[in-house]
Structures are given as structure tokens and as C-alpha cells.
Amino acid sequence: MKKLLGSALILLLVLCLGSIASAEEKKAVPNSKAKPAPVEKVEQSAEKQGVPVAVIHSGDDVLGGTLALKLKENFRKSVLFKLAGKDGKAVRVIIESRSEFNERPEIGSVYSVVWTFAESEGVVPFYLKQELGLVNSRNVENSAAGLMNTTDKVAGEYKYLFE
């Protein structure tokens, strides 16, 4: 009985060692002298699809500047829009802002937004829409989102200008 049990254990040990050796032979080891296959470069400068938009702000108040920056940030993140320079066709969102109260500028700001379309910087722009509003520190995000929605509606209404 002991001989049979010993023989079975030896047979099991031989089979396990054989499978380990077989697995190590099949394991692919990279050749350190061979050059790696060239990786195709993905074109990162691919044009982002969307309506070109330029945001232009004038005013010295903090909340109006924050509103303009939030609007630019939202346009940059959006797949519907792309930030444009001054040299191409674009919807221009022109924001003019002032503090609501000169003594306490942190309370709020008054802003005016005018949407225009221009082929380039040297061409007289087309007037599209205007809007007035109030912004404070609590509603800057919502105001920027509202202006972005209005820009989407304006761009949809005047999309034939981009053709």
C-alpha cells in the first residue's frame, strides 16, 4: 500500500513538473535586441467639429470677468462649439459688464450680451441678438449655461451663414 501511494505521489509530481516546464516554454519573452513595432501617431490637431464661437469681454468687474471665463470654459468643453480666433467665420459673443453697486462690487454685476456673426476681423459683423442680465456669485454658473443655450439657439437659427 505504501509503495502504491509513493508511486502515485511520484507520478503526480512528475506530471506537475512536466506541465510547469511546458508552460515556461510556451511563455513569450520579448526579444530585447529587436526594435518595437512603430506606433502610428494619432492626429491630435484634428479640427474639433462644432460652431466656431469667440467670446469677447470688456469691463473691470470681477463677476463679469468670471461670467466670461465660465462661458469660454463651457464652450471649450462642449462638443457643439469650438473656440475660434478672430480670423475666421464665427459667432461672436460680446459681453460688456459693470458692477451693480460701485461701493460693493461683490454683490452683483450688470451685463449686456450681443451676438454677432463675422467672416473675419476686418469685416463688418452682422447683428444677431442681444440680452441684458444680472449676475452674482451664486448664479454665475447658471448664467453662463443660459448664455450658452442662447448661443446654441442663435447658431441654429443663423446656421446658413456658415455655409
Give phi and psi for 123, each to the nearest 5. Answer: -100, 140
In a domain, 26, yes or no: no
Q: Which domain holds residue 57?
A: 51-162
Q: Render pLDDT for 28-56 as a digit per residue (tens, 0 to 9).
A: 666 666 666 677 765 544 556 889 999 99
Say what the pLDDT of residue 149 is.
96
pTM: 0.69
Contact (CB, 8 A) for 93 and 115: yes
Buried b (16+ CB within 10 A) or exposed e, 146-155: ebbeebbebb
In a domain, 40, yes or no: no
In a domain, 100, yes or no: yes
In a domain, 124, yes or no: yes
In a domain, 29, yes or no: no
- Domain of 131, CATH number, reads 3.40.50.10610
DSSP H or E segment with residue 92: strand 90-99
Q: Render pLDDT for 53-108 as a digit per residue (tens, 0 to 9).
A: 999 999 989 999 999 999 999 999 999 999 998 788 999 999 999 998 888 878 89
Cell 508511486, residue located:
7
Q: Render pLDDT for 97-108 as a digit per residue (tens, 0 to 9).
A: 999 888 887 889
In a domain, 4, yes or no: no
In a domain, 119, yes or no: yes
* Local structure of 19: helix, strand or coil: helix
In a domain, 153, yes or no: yes
Domains identified in the chain, total number: 1
Q: All 3 cell numbers of residue 160?
A: 446658413
Q: All 3 cell numbers of residue 53?
A: 464661437
